[in-house]
């Protein structure tokens, strides 16, 4: 006689471990010691979205566990294989691309002998069991981690939607306030479903909820509102299309939570359940409402941080953008490309906006007679302070460069200025402990007609020179100290030395800051990282293959040549010397009045040969006459340097020893000037060199004065003019545009 509850023989035969696990509403996964999957039950196939896959070809990591949770999977294996029990929550990307949270427990699989031969994992979708209280804290923690990983509004909002759909909702809307408007920023739906046109407003649309709508109530009361069952209540619909769609998809329940932070309402988070999915319970309850309210608090804080960050980033980038030249002018004999990239934010390092701006800068400065000043520099540190120092130094260098002094003199003056801009600091005893900013800088002057390059270096990395497919460092013999670190008592003229090189036709220079080569290691650990020599080797090899490309292409290739993420802001300047010779003429004349007409004739013939328009040529010749006349007149009236004479015989009285008949006339007659003419694409430049050290200046001539108007005419009629000291004296120059003023 069988007792009640005893199994029949047929039932007992079917009561195997496999048959029980086939009916279990919980995922069961068995792996070996190397995390290779040996078995999973049907529920596990459905949970991980691997229906029909062969478990023998899967590993624990390939079950869809998100990449950032791979270390968690490794910890699981280590702990269980040591005999422990592991419990935690994974982010899992299913086979259809949806994201779910999986709560798992892992225990050792033991051989009858007692040795551990593998791992047994039981898992279920979080918030889908009766242990919701335990899941609540785990899921909140996971959502908080995902939100903390971004400082960008759009990315933050998308992460919120990925966290909640389909895990907790079939539809998720997030709307943010923009002034008096409410604008939809996110519209995410289960299984890739898309609302038909004319139903739910799309992303970017302005949203308006009618009075009495539960979303309107949530906004006004600033509290989370839940509609447990729409079959029991009714609310006014925002539009007829939306009301019709609700009936078609069978909306069952909804929760709306305001996004409030620091007393302000940033917007709404709107979650909906519908009949598009088959859930254990198609309705929200009070537990779900409280849970969504807790999520909304974290979302509001993350969105507020992202909004503040984007506002500061926009301010910082605008600040940086206006400190650097946005568009460089064109120059004869040079092709130029430039790039600037701020460093990506280090959100996980707590530096925030500090990493967005820095002190890297570049500049290209028009100088006299078509020459060009080329600058690359880097102020130590990051943030607005470094950018502000950079802006002052760039402005100062541009002003110093207009004097046309040698590069070494410019760096010496800039070094002094670096000490001036430092904020004064004093110790407890009142002693000055001011620390000037540390700045590296390379300043060059290039003359496209002679192909000469003059430069001085203040601790900056040498430019790369690309010639005929070869890439090497530009040879720099004298590398001075960075600006701001010169030892006391040592004058800057002793620190910075000028050097000269001739650039071959078609040669390219790549000037860069250290952000180009100092990169964060690649995320792929297998790729490893490069030391300084390896980094430069990689950069040179990639540039060598593209040396014949355009300067814009070279700038782009250089930007991405070194593996890894940008760790510091980066400035790049690529300049290429023209492959053709530019037109110029030069001749030296005695400093005599009769030579004024000869100089004018030379200019007229040159302008005619260069096909300069007649009107422009006549104007240029007029100004040549004025400048040359000014040089000749001052040469005739210049004081003669006093020289000591050694004569045979008794010494002469002091006054007589300096009064040698004919000496002054002889010295004046030896004076000469040089006229140099240059033709560019849009202008002609005229330079007049002489041995007089006095720089010219415009004088106010009276009504009856016979002279004093020459430089005034030059100032009024030339596009630009100026003078600069030379080793032998000075040069006066002016520029006349070929087409128009």
Is 615's pLDDT higher than 50? yes
Decide which of 150 and 687 is more confident. Answer: 687
Q: Binning pLDDT at 50, 70 and 90, where does residue 662 land?
A: very low
Q: What per-residue confidence (pLDDT) applies to 3? A: 54
Q: Binning pLDDT at 50, 70 and 90, where does residue 689 land?
A: very high
Minimum mean pLDDT range among 223-227, 408-412, 566-570: 566-570
Q: What per-residue confidence (pLDDT) applies to 707? A: 54
Kindly report, as residue ranges, where domains of CATH 3.60.40.10 are found in the chain. 325-426+433-485+494-521+529-577
132-311 carries CATH number 3.30.450.40: yes
| Nearest partner of 210 among 240, 239, 180, judged by Cα | 239
Q: What per-residue confidence (pLDDT) applies to 37? A: 86
- Mean of the pLDDT values across residues 645-672? 51
Q: Binning pLDDT at 50, 70 and 90, where does residue 314 land?
A: confident
Kindly report, as residue ranges, where domains of CATH 3.30.565.10 are found in the chain. 584-637+669-737
Decide which of 346 and 521 is more confident. Answer: 521
Is 725's pLDDT higher than 90? no
pLDDT digits (tens, 9 = 90+) for 240-290: 888 889 888 999 999 999 999 888 889 999 999 999 888 777 888 888 888
pLDDT digits (tens, 9 = 90+) for 89-113: 777 887 777 777 788 888 999 888 8
Is 702's pLDDT higher than 60? no
CATH class of 18-126: alpha beta
Q: What per-residue confidence (pLDDT) applies to 264? A: 87
Q: What per-residue confidence (pLDDT) applies to 349? A: 42
Q: Where are the beta strands (DSSP E) in 352-498?
A: 358-366, 372-382, 439-447, 452-458, 464-467, 470-473, 479-480
Tell me the percentage of the chain whose pLDDT exceeds 70.
81
Inter-residue contact 445 to 367 (CB < 8 Å): yes
Tokens 């009276």 belong to residue: 702
Which CATH code of 3.30.565.10, 3.40.50.2000, 3.40.720.10, 3.40.50.740 fits the domain covering 584-637+669-737? 3.30.565.10
Tell me the percentage of the chain whose pLDDT exceeds 90.
31
Q: 237 to each of 200, 255, 271, 360, how far by Cα in Å? A: 11, 15, 16, 55
Q: What pTM, to 2 d.p., does this model score?
A: 0.64
Inter-residue contact 406 to 498 (CB < 8 Å): yes
- Mean of the pLDDT values across residues 37-53? 82
Inter-residue contact 699 to 633 (CB < 8 Å): no
Rounded to 10 degrees, what is the CA torsion of 613, 616, 619, 621? Answer: -50
pLDDT digits (tens, 9 = 90+) for 405-462: 899 999 999 998 888 877 666 666 666 666 788 899 999 999 999 999 999 999 999 9
Query: In terms of C-beta density within 10 A (0-12 exposed, 13-18 middle, 19 or more buried), how is residue 588 classed?
Result: exposed
Is 663's pLDDT higher than 80? no
Inter-residue contact 503 to 467 (CB < 8 Å): no
pLDDT digits (tens, 9 = 90+) for 583-610: 999 999 998 989 999 999 999 999 999 9
Is 360's pLDDT higher than 70? yes
Minimum mean pLDDT range among 122-126, 320-324, 454-458, 495-499: 320-324
State the DSSP string of 168-237: T-SEEEEEEEETTEEEEEEEEEGGG--PPTTSS--TT-B--PPTT-HHHHHHHHTS-EEES-TTT-----
- The CATH superfamily of 325-426+433-485+494-521+529-577 is PPM-type phosphatase domain (3.60.40.10)
Decide which of 69 and 615 is more confident. Answer: 615
Q: What per-residue confidence (pLDDT) applies to 384? A: 73
Inter-residue contact 163 to 138 (CB < 8 Å): no
Residue 474 tokens read as 């530009």
Q: Where are the alpha helices (DSSP H) in 638-671?
A: 654-657, 663-669
Kindly report, as residue ranges, where domains of CATH 3.30.450.40 are found in the chain. 132-311
When the pLDDT of each residue in the chain is averaged and rounded to a whole number, the result is 81
Kindly report, as residue ranges, where domains of CATH 3.30.450.20 are found in the chain. 18-126
- Mean of the pLDDT values across residues 229-237? 87
d(CA 124, CA 27): 6
Q: Binning pLDDT at 50, 70 and 90, where does residue 365 land?
A: very high
Q: What per-residue confidence (pLDDT) applies to 422? A: 73
Rounded to 10 degrees, what is the CA torsion of 555, 556, 557, 563? Answer: 110
Q: Binning pLDDT at 50, 70 and 90, where does residue 348 land?
A: very low
Backbone torsions φ then ψ of 91, nearest 5 degrees: -85, 125
């Amino acid at each position: 006689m069988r007792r009640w509850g005893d199994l029949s023989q047929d039932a007992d035969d079917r009561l195997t471990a496999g048959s029980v696990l086939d009916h279990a509403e919980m995922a069961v996964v068995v792996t070996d010691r190397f995390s290779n999957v040996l078995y999973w039950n049907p529920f596990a196939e459905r949970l991980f979205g691997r229906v029909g896959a062969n478990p023998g070809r899967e590993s624990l990591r390939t079950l869809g566990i998100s990449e950032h949770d791979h270390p968690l999977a490794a910890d699981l294996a280590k702990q269980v294989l040591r005999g422990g029990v592991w419990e935690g929550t994974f982010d899992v990307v299913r086979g259809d691309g949806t994201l779910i949270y999986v709560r798992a427990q892992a225990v050792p699989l033991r051989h009858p002998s007692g040795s551990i031969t593998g791992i047994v994992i039981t898992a279920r979708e979080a918030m889908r069991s009766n242990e919701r209280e335990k899941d609540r804290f785990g899921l909140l923690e996971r959502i908080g981690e995902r939100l903390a990983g971004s400082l960008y509004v759009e990315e933050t909002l998308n992460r919120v939607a990925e966290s909640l759909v389909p895990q907790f909702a079939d539809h998720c809307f997030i709307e943010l306030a923009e002034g008096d408007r409410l604008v939809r920023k996110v519209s995410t739906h289960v299984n890739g479903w898309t609302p038909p046109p004319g139903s739910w407003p799309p992303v970017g649309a302005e949203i308006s909820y009618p009075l009495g709508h539960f979303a309107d109530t949530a906004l006004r009361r600033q509290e989370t509102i839940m509609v447990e069952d729409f079959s029991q209540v009714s609310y006014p619909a925002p539009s007829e299309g939306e009301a019709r769609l609700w009936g078609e998809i069978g909306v069952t329940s909804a929760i709306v939570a305001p996004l409030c932070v620091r007393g302000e309402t940033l917007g709404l988070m709107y979650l909906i359940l519908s009949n598009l999915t088959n859930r254990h319970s198609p309705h929200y309850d009070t537990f779900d409402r409280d849970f969504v309210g807790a999520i909304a608090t974290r979302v509001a804080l993350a969105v507020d941080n992202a909004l503040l960050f984007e506002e500061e980033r926009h301010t910082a980038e605008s600040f940086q953008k206006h400190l650097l030249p946005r568009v460089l002018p064109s120059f004869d004999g040079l092709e130029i490309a430039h790039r600037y990239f701020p460093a990506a934010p280090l959100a996980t390092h707590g530096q925030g906006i500090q990493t967005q701006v820095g002190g890297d800068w570049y500049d290209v400065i028009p100088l006299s007679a078509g020459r060009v000043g080329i600058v690359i520099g880097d102020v130590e540190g990051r943030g607005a302070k470094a950018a502000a120092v950079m802006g002052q130094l760039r402005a100062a260098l541009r002003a110093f460069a207009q004097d046309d002094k040698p590069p070494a003199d410019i760096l010496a003056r800039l070094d002094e200025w670096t000490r001036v801009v430092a904020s004064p600091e004093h110790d407890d005893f009142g002693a000055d402990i001011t620390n000037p900013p540390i700045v590296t800088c390379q300043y060059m002057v290039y003359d496209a007609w002679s192909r000469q390059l003059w430069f001085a270096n203040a601790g900056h990395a040498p430019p790369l020179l690309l010639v005929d497919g070869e890439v090497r460092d530009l040879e720099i013999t004298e590398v001075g100290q960075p600006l701001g670190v010169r030892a006391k008592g040592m004058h800057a003229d002793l620190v910075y030395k000028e050097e000269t090189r001739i650039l071959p036709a078609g040669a390219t220079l790549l000037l860069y800051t250290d952000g180009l080569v100092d990169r964060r290691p690649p995320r792929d650990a297998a790729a490893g990282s490069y030391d300084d020599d390896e980094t430069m080797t990689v950069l040179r090899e990639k540039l060598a293959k593209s040396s014949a490309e355009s300067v814009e292409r070279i700038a782009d290739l250089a930007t991405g040549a070194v593996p890894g993420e940008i760790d510091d802001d980066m400035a790049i300047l690529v300049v290429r010397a023209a492959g053709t010779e530019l037109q110029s003429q030069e001749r030296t004349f005695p400093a005599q009045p009769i030579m004024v007409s000869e100089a004018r004739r030379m200019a007229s013939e040159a302008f005619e040969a260069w096909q300069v328009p007649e009107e422009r040529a006549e104007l240029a010749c007029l100004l040549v006459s004025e400048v040359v006349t000014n040089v000749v007149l001052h040469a005739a009236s210049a004081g003669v340097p006093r020289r000591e004479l050694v004569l045979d015989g008794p010494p002469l009285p002091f006054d007589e020893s300096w009064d040698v008949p004919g000496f002054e006339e002889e010295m004046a007659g030896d004076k000469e000037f040089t006229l140099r003419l240059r033709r560019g694409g849009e202008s002609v430049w005229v330079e007049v060199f002489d041995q007089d050290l006095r720089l010219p200046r415009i004088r106010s001539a009276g009504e009856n004065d016979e002279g004093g108007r020459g430089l005034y005419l030059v100032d009024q009629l030339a596009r630009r003019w100026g003078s600069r000291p030379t080793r032998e004296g000075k040069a006066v120059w002016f520029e006349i545009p070929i087409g128009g003023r």
